[in-house]
Each structure stands twice: as C-alpha cells, then as structure tokens.
Structure 1
Amino acid sequence: MARLSEAEITEHLAQRPDWSLENNNEIVRTFRLANFPAAIAFVTHVAFLAEAAGHHPDIDIRYNRVRIALTTHDAGGLTEKDFALAAAIDEILG
C-alpha cells in the first residue's frame, strides 16, 4: 500500500479530529474509559478489528487510559490502512 502524502494525511486527519499526527509518521489517540476492566474490554475489541484488518496498532494501557498509535511499517509511514483502522476504532465507542 502506498504511503500517503502530507496533503492526504491532512485531509484524513480533518475527518478524524480526535487523532493527532506524531513524528510525521503515525497517528495517535488516547481514549479514556470508565475503569480498567472497560479499558481491557476496549483493547480486546480493537485487537479483533486489527487482526481482521491484518494491521496491528501499538497499544499502551494506563489504568483507564488507552493510547493507540497507528502507522504502516512496511510503507515507512501512514497509509489508507491506518485511517481505515482509526475509523473502525472510533466506531467502537460511537
């Protein structure tokens, strides 16, 4: 999959305002859940989405906060896969 241009990344980020660009090669969002079990349930849901997509995010869990970072390592940056998975993750919590 082709790496996105800066203009394409900006366009995609406009549609995902809760995500931010970090290091010019990954998008990141931190989710706040009710408690630790809710955070783990959320991560489990993300894991199934990621596995189905064949695209696996970096996930950091800190009690009720879950930080998700997406990038396409094979492409050396962001691709459509990252934004598609970000959209699917956003749908989990509505």
Structure 2
Amino acid sequence: MESMLRQQIQAACDDVHRDPDDRAACDRLHRLLTAATANRAEVEQPLNWHHLVRMACDEVYDAPEDPEARHRLLLLLAARGSGTCQSAT
C-alpha cells in the first residue's frame, strides 16, 4: 500500500478510535478504505460479507463465551437484515 494512503488511513483510524461518533472522521475513513480497496482490486479479492460471517462464526464456535466475538457476528447479521450488505442478496 502506498505510504501516503497508509498514513492517511492510520490517522483516520486514530480519529475514529478517539471518537467513534465523529461522523466526519467515519466518513473520511470510509472513503480512504474504499480507495485502498479499489486500488488493490486487481491484485486481491476484497473481503466479502460471506467470508466475514464465516470467520465470525468460526470465532464464536471456538469461544462462544467471548462477548466480542458474539458482538461481531451479531453486527454482521444485523448488516444483512438492514439491507446495507449488498453481497448478501
């Protein structure tokens, strides 16, 4: 990944980490991540919803008592239900 884009993503992640409710920071991070994915689309397949759900299911299967693993899976399932997940249709 280009070092400038990498630095921008890291800075945006820091901003979102400090204040997850900062809409401008979230939007900036979303744009940067989208740009990074678009630039690398020829080289590697971006993670899709199905792959993310399978990984989250594996985590919950291995450690059903882990609340973070359960929350990740719930978020992914909610994304599909809300219609925000295009690859789930």
TM-score, normalisation: structure 2 = 0.27
Bigger relative contact order (CA 8 A; separation at least 6): 1
Which has more radius of gyration? 2
TM-score, normalisation: structure 1 = 0.26
Which structure's residues are more often strand, by fraction? 1
